[in-house]
Amino acid sequence: MSLVDISLLAGLVLLLLLGVALFWRMGLQLRALPALLTQDVEARHRAVLTDLHTGLSQQSDRMQTQLAALQVAQAERLAETRETVTGQFGLFQAAMLEKLAEQGRAEQSLLQDTLKGMTAHFNERVQQLSQTVDGRLNEISGKVAERLDEGFKKTNETFTSVMSRLAVIDEAQKKIEGLASNVVSLQEILGDKRSRGAFGEVQLEALVRNSLPPDAYAFQYTLKGGARADCVLILPEPTGTVCVDSKFPLENYSRMFDDSLPPAERDAAKRQFKTDVKKHVDDIAAKYIVEGETSDGAVMFLPAEAVFAEIHAYHPDLVEHAQKKRVWLTSPTTLMAVLNTSRAVIRDSETRRMAHVIKDELGKLAKDFARFDDRMKKLASHIEQANKDVSEVRISSDKISRRFQQIERVELEHPDVDAARLLDAED
């Protein structure tokens, strides 16, 4: 509460006490005077109240004048105080800004040095990982390229061999046609079943050897039940082992087209030809389709394209029967397609196997990168802790420096000061 407020309150209290005293005095006079003097008392009372009101008005004017003077003086003092505080605050602010700028430059320098170290270490680790990844990828790419080159090389060799053999066969056919009068005919050569079987096996072996890698086939393969297949194709799962058997029903086929025979015998030969082919299909299905050991289908190889064409062109019931028995009829040309498909399956399986190798290597690389990330986080935590420790050490160093400065100032200004005064100055 200000001095003006106290003065106003004191004046009001004094006036109230004066009014109470006057009222009390007037009450006593009214009791003592007779009723005839009541009007006179009231007149006097009004005069007293008028005087009291006039005095209060004058007192209020005086108090307002004093209050205005006090407000002016207080405003002047506040202005002087504000100017003084503003000047001191400007000096203090300039000193603090300079100190903060110095500290910021020092911390920025420390942070830049730390970041340079981290960047160099990170670049070194990234370069090492990149070299490791490049080395592994180059190794895997080299293996894949080597396998593909081997496959292409074998394919080219196969086609070259087939073309050369076809050229030899064409040349042989020309020679046979030119020397037909001096040599026995092919019909006479293949008149014996064993000769026909040997011819079919040789042709089958040549086609398989020229189309597939050595570990993808086997000749004269004996199954667990004792049956021996002319050839088996060893393919990746789920296909598995596919048996190939050579059959050459040539005798009745030739009688079907022998114009020297009567039509009845040619018809009988035709029926017998169908019976022979059907029997071969049934035998192959019974011997070479073994559940759990071979594939769910087998291949019947017909060494003559003409026999194969005759069956598919004029005997669709035989083709349907073979399909029901899961026996695939092939000729030299269609067997080549089957072997090429098998080679593609083998190559695809090898590619998938190498893809698993690549996936494994990428998985190892992912684990290495996860470990690198974990170690990088630990390194960042250590750097943050080191930065915090440096800040705390800087604070302690500043405190020690200030304490030495205080001690020096005390010694220069007060050389005989005692220990208690030093402690007070420090506090």
**Tens-place pLDDT, residues 270-283:** 889 889 899 999 99
In a domain, 172, yes or no: no
296 vs 180, which has greater pLDDT? 296
Q: Are residues 73 and 204 in the same domain?
A: no
Rounded distance, CA 115 to CA 373, Å? 17
Mapping DSSP to helix (H, G, I), strand (E, B) and coil, where does residue 148 land? Answer: helix
Decide which of 321, 344, 362 is a domain's last residue.
Answer: 362
What's residue 413's pLDDT? Answer: 46
The amino acid at 322: A
Name, in order, each residue with C-beta under 8 angstroms of 313's C-beta and a sequence gap of 6 or more: none
Q: Is residue 383 part of a domain?
A: no
pLDDT of residue 185: 47
- What does each C-alpha distance from 313 to 13, 305, 316 come to in angstroms? 139, 12, 7
**End-to-end CA separation in angstroms for the chain:** 35
Q: What percent of the chain has pLDDT over 70?
A: 75
Kindly provide the b/e burial profile for residues 71-106, where b requires at least 16 CB atoms within 10 angstroms of the residue's own CB: eeeeeeeeeeeeeeeeeeeeeeeeeeeeeeeeeeee
Of residues 340 and 134, more confidently modeled: 340
Pair (211, 316) in one structural domain: yes
- 68 and 216 in a single domain? The answer is no
Share of the chain above pLDDT 90, in %: 8
Which of 143-147, 159-163, 276-280 tops mean pLDDT?
276-280
Residue 105 belongs to a domain: no
Q: Which of 98, 131, 165 is the last residue of a domain?
A: 98
Residues 93 and 226 in one domain: no
Cis peptide before 262 (omega within 30 of 0): no
Residues 202 and 84 occupy one common structural domain:
no
**CA–CA separation, 155 and 159 (whole Å):** 6
Tell whether 71 and 218 lie within a shared domain. Answer: no
Residue 334 lies in a domain: yes
Q: Specify if 206 maps to a domain.
A: yes
Each residue of 198-217: pLDDT tens digit?
777 888 888 888 888 888 89
pLDDT band at 424 (very low <50, low <70, confident <90, very high): very low
pTM (2 decimals)? 0.42
Flag whether pLDDT at 190 surpasses 60: no
Structurally, the chain folds into a number of domains equal to 2
pLDDT of residue 36: 53
- Is residue 199 located within the same domain as residue 320? yes
pLDDT at 135: 75
Q: Name the band, by pLDDT with cuts 50, 70 and 90, for residue 186.
A: very low
The whole-number pLDDT of residue 307 equals 87
**Cα angle, residue 419 at apex, residues 418 and 422 outer, rounded to 5°:** 95
Q: How many CB atoms lie within 10 A of CB 33?
A: 12
User: What gap in Å lies between CA 147 and CA 168, rounded to an integer?
Assistant: 31
Q: What is the pLDDT of residue 243?
A: 93
Chain length of the chain? 427
* 189 or 332, higher pLDDT: 332
Tell me, what's the pLDDT at 196? 63
- Say if residues 217 and 234 touch (Cβ distance below 8 Å): yes
Query: What backbone phi and psi angles, to 5 degrees, belong to 292?
Result: 85, -10
Residue 318 lies in a domain: yes
Domain span at 36: 3-98
327 vs 300: CA distance, rounded Å:
7
Q: Is residue 122 part of a domain?
A: no
pLDDT of amino acid 327? 93
Predicted confidence band of residue 181 (pLDDT cuts 50, 70, 90):
very low
Q: Residue 114 corresponds to which amino acid?
A: T
User: Cα(2)–Cα(213) distance, rounded to whole angstroms?
Assistant: 114
Q: Write out pLDDT tens, residues 23-53.
A: 676 666 556 555 556 666 677 767 777 777 7
CA separation (Å) from 397 to 98, 109, 392, 402, 423?
19, 18, 9, 9, 19
Name the one residue in this structure whose structure tokens are 């040549």. 206
248 contacts 304 by C-beta, under 8 angstroms: yes
Does residue 332 share a domain with residue 223? yes
Domain end: 330, 362, 394, which one? Answer: 362
Give a yes or no: residue 72 inside a domain: yes
The pLDDT tens digits of the residues spanning 48-91 come to 777 777 777 777 777 777 777 777 777 788 778 777 777 777 77
Burial 141-153 (b: 16+ CB within 10 A, else e): eeebeeeeeebee
